[in-house]
Amino acid sequence: MGDISGMKAPLLSIIIPTFNERGNMPLIIPGISKVLGREGIPYEIVVMDDDSPDGTARAVKELSDEYPQARCIVRTTDRGLSPSVIQGFVEARGDIYLVMDADLSHPVEALPRMYRSIVDDGADIVVGSRHTKGGGIENWPFMRRFISFGAALMARPLTTCSDPMSGFFAIRPEVLKNTELRPKGYKILLEILVKGRYGRISEVPITFKDREVGQSKLGSKVMLNYIQHLLELYLYPGSAPFFKFLFVGGTGMLVDLGMVSLLLLTLGDERLDILTFNGIRSFYLFQAVSFIYAVTWNFVWNRYWTFDARSGSSSVQYTRFMVVAIVAFLIRSALLFLAVDILGLDYQPLYQIALLSVILVVTVINYLGSKLWAFRK
Ligand SMILES: Nc1nc2c(ncn2[C@@H]2O[C@H](COP(=O)(O)OP(=O)(O)OP(=O)(O)O)[C@@H](O)[C@H]2O)c(=O)[nH]1
Ligand SMILES: [Mg+2]
Question: Within this chain, do residues 223 and 356 fall inside the same structural domain, yes or no?
Answer: no
Q: How far is the CA of 231 from the centre of ligand 2 (A)?
A: 25
pTM for this predicted structure: 0.87
Q: How far is the CA of 88 from the centre of ligand 1 (A)?
A: 15
Q: Does a structural domain hold residue 2?
A: no
- Pocket probe mutation, ligand 1, options 15, 21, 81, max atoms within 8 Å of Cβ: 81
**Which ligand gives the minimal distance to the CA of 222?**
1
Of the chain, the end-to-end C-alpha distance in Å amounts to 27
Q: Does a structural domain hold residue 317?
A: yes
Question: Within this chain, do residues 116 and 190 fall inside the same structural domain, yes or no?
Answer: yes
Q: Identify the domain boundary among 204, 235, 266.
A: 235
What number does the ligand 1 atom closest to the CA of 75 have? 1
Could you say which residues of the chain have pLDDT below 50? 1-2
Q: Does a structural domain hold residue 1?
A: no
- Residue 175 is predicted with a pLDDT of 97
Q: Does a structural domain hold residue 111?
A: yes
Q: Does a structural domain hold residue 7?
A: no
What is the C-alpha to C-alpha distance for residues 126 and 153, in angstroms, rounded to an integer? 19
Residue 225, domain CATH: 3.90.550.10
DSSP 8-state class, residue 240: S
Question: Within this chain, do residues 25 and 53 fall inside the same structural domain, yes or no?
Answer: yes
Question: Within this chain, do residues 271 and 144 fall inside the same structural domain, yes or no?
Answer: no
Q: Identify the domain boundary among 213, 235, 257.
A: 235
What number does the ligand 1 atom closest to the CA of 102 have? 27
Question: Within this chain, do residues 332 and 313 fall inside the same structural domain, yes or no?
Answer: yes
Look up residue 79 and give its amino acid.
Answer: R
Domain that holds residue 202: 12-235
Q: Identify the domain boundary among 203, 235, 267.
A: 235
Q: How far is the CA of 296 from the centre of ligand 1 (A)?
A: 47
Q: How far is the CA of 100 from the centre of ligand 1 (A)?
A: 10
- Pocket probe mutation, ligand 1, options 49, 52, 103, max atoms within 8 Å of Cβ: 103
- Residue 2 is predicted with a pLDDT of 46
- Residue 217 is predicted with a pLDDT of 58
- Residue 148 is predicted with a pLDDT of 82
Residue whose CA is at the smallest distance from ligand 1 atom 16: 216
Q: Is the Cβ–Cβ distance between 178 and 210 less than 8 Å?
A: no
Question: Within this chain, do residues 128 and 107 fall inside the same structural domain, yes or no?
Answer: yes
Show the DSSP H helices in 133-220 as ranges.
Answer: 142-155, 188-195
Q: Does a structural domain hold residue 269?
A: yes
Q: Between helices 241-267 and 282-301, what is the axis angle to 10°?
A: 150
What number does the ligand 1 atom closest to the CA of 80 have? 31
Number of domains making up the chain: 2
Q: Does a structural domain hold residue 86?
A: yes
Q: Between helices 282-301 and 314-337, what is the axis angle to 10°?
A: 130
Q: How far is the CA of 80 from the centre of ligand 1 (A)?
A: 9
Q: Is the Cβ–Cβ distance between 241 and 305 less than 8 Å?
A: no
**Which ligand gives the minimal distance to the CA of 20?**
1
What residues does 170 pair with on adjacent strands?
98, 126
- Residue 65 is predicted with a pLDDT of 96
Q: Does a structural domain hold residue 5?
A: no
Look up residue 103 and give its amino acid.
Answer: D
What residues does 70 pair with on adjacent strands?
45
Question: Within this chain, do residues 147 and 287 fall inside the same structural domain, yes or no?
Answer: no
Question: Within this chain, do residues 150 and 167 fall inside the same structural domain, yes or no?
Answer: yes
Which 3 state secondary structure label does DSSP give 21? coil
Q: Which residues line ligand 1 (CB under 6 A)?
A: 17-19, 21, 48-50, 79-81, 84, 101-103, 105, 167, 211, 216-218
Residue whose CA is at the smallest distance from ligand 1 atom 31: 80
Q: Is 373 left (phi over 0), alpha (psi -120 to 50) or beta?
A: alpha
Question: Within this chain, do residues 19 and 88 fall inside the same structural domain, yes or no?
Answer: yes
- Residues comprising the chain, all counted: 377
Question: Within this chain, do residues 226 and 258 fall inside the same structural domain, yes or no?
Answer: no
What number does the ligand 1 atom closest to the CA of 49 have? 1
Question: Within this chain, do residues 257 and 193 fall inside the same structural domain, yes or no?
Answer: no
Question: Within this chain, do residues 152 and 41 fall inside the same structural domain, yes or no?
Answer: yes
What number does the ligand 1 atom closest to the CA of 214 have? 25
Q: At residue 201, what are phi and psi to the nearest 5 degrees?
A: -125, 135
- Residue 139 is predicted with a pLDDT of 84
